[in-house]
Amino acid sequence: MNTTCYLICLQKTERKIKRHKYMNKNTLLFITAFFLLFSLNTTSAQSRSIHFFGSYDRSFGYLTASVSTSLGQPRYDEVSKLKNGSVNQFEVGAFINSSFGLGVIHNTYSTNATTNYQNYDLNGDGLLDNGQLSDKLSLKFTGLEVLYKKAVFSSRFDVLWKIALGIQSYSIDKTTETSENNPPNNTQTLTGSIFTGLIGAGFDYHINKILSVGIETSLLPGKYKKLKDKASDYYTYEDNVSRLSTGLKLTLTL
């Protein structure tokens, strides 16, 4: 009985360890960075030339590349719907002498689309099909950033510029469904990553010494030349998902 209980407890412990091993790397990065910056701020409380910050930005994203008319209907309509999406952005870092800053930035762009079609020869076999196209696009950027801010009008208003370099991952799930299931429904996943940069600018209004709100606009190039199909290593695809983002930002400063 004791041996059985021991084995059960051991198995539970092993499962917990495996779950922890698969924690999201970006989450670990920001948790570590936050506690490191908080500790440094505590130990240097007497030296106010360094100010630590964390911010969250919720933005509207727009993919700037044009959609090729050679795609034909209904694929042209489907891809066009992916040009608009939502952006969530997190930053942690520190400003030196209230002007120059260094930090870590992470943002995501996500969108999905669905397009129904009727009496269309989608695969070029001479038969008219009815069905549906579905796409789910996800972009994730993580990088190191340099910031510069300057007070304008009054001490409560800051104008902010930033530039960041990092890695952006790309993932899209594409599904083609036909009403007669002929040809069979097709699901495709494309993935890839590139080294790219981000530039941005915005305004912040300081409600008090800790809390500020603002507006920010950024541009993130994203031209992929080698996207891999998970089902085959022999095919590569291209896509341009360069994006412009504009939204509201909330910042905490210690």
* Structure confidence at residue 38 (pLDDT): 53
Are 12 and 61 contained in the same domain?
A: no
Encode pLDDT of 89-113 as tens digits: 999 999 988 899 999 999 999 999 9
33 with 52: CB under 8 angstroms? Answer: no
Q: Is there a contact between 170 and 239 (Cβ–Cβ < 8 Å)?
A: yes
Q: Looking at the structure, do residues 134 and 25 belong to the same domain, yes or no?
A: no
CATH for 144 = 2.40.160.20
Please indicate, yes or no, whether residues 41 and 91 belong to a single structural domain of this protein: no
Confidence (pLDDT) at 94: 96
- Last residue of a domain, which of 46, 68, 83? 46
Which is higher by pLDDT, 91 or 10?
Answer: 91
Same domain as 131, residue 223: yes
pLDDT at 18: 41
Question: Are 1 and 25 in a shared domain?
Answer: yes
Please say which residue of 46, 62, 80 terminates a domain.
Answer: 46
Tell me: the pLDDT tens digits for 127-159?
A: 777 889 999 999 999 999 999 999 998 889 999
> Distance between CA atoms of 117 and 132, rounded to whole angstroms?
6
121 and 92 fall within a common domain: yes
- Compute the average pLDDT of residues 24-30: 55
> Global pTM?
0.79
Residue 78 CA: distances (Å) to CA of 40, 103, 113, 245, 254 = 49, 37, 6, 21, 45
Q: What is the pLDDT of residue 34?
A: 54
Total of domains in the chain:
2
Strand 84-96 and strand 100-120: the pairing is antiparallel
**Both 92 and 36 in a single domain?**
no
* CA-based nearest residue to 164, from 235, 221, 123: 221
Beta strands in the chain (DSSP E): 50-63, 84-96, 100-120, 129-152, 154-178, 186-206, 211-220, 223-229, 232-240, 243-253
Domain that holds residue 16: 1-46
Identify which of 108, 101, 69 has the alpha carbon closest to the alpha carbon of residue 85.
Answer: 108
Same domain, 10 and 72: no
Beta bridge partners of 214: 204, 249
Average pLDDT over residues 190-200: 97
Residues 3 and 57 in one domain: no
Do 227 and 174 have their domain in common? yes
Task: Say whether both 38 and 61 belong to one domain.
Answer: no
pLDDT score of 1: 43
Consecutive H or E run containing 254 = none
| pLDDT value for 131 | 87
Pair (99, 191) in one structural domain: yes
For 35-78, the pLDDT digits (tens) are 555 555 554 444 558 899 999 999 999 999 999 888 888 999 99
More confident residue, 48 or 206: 206
Give Cα separations from 4 to 10, 18, 58 (angstroms).
Answer: 10, 21, 51
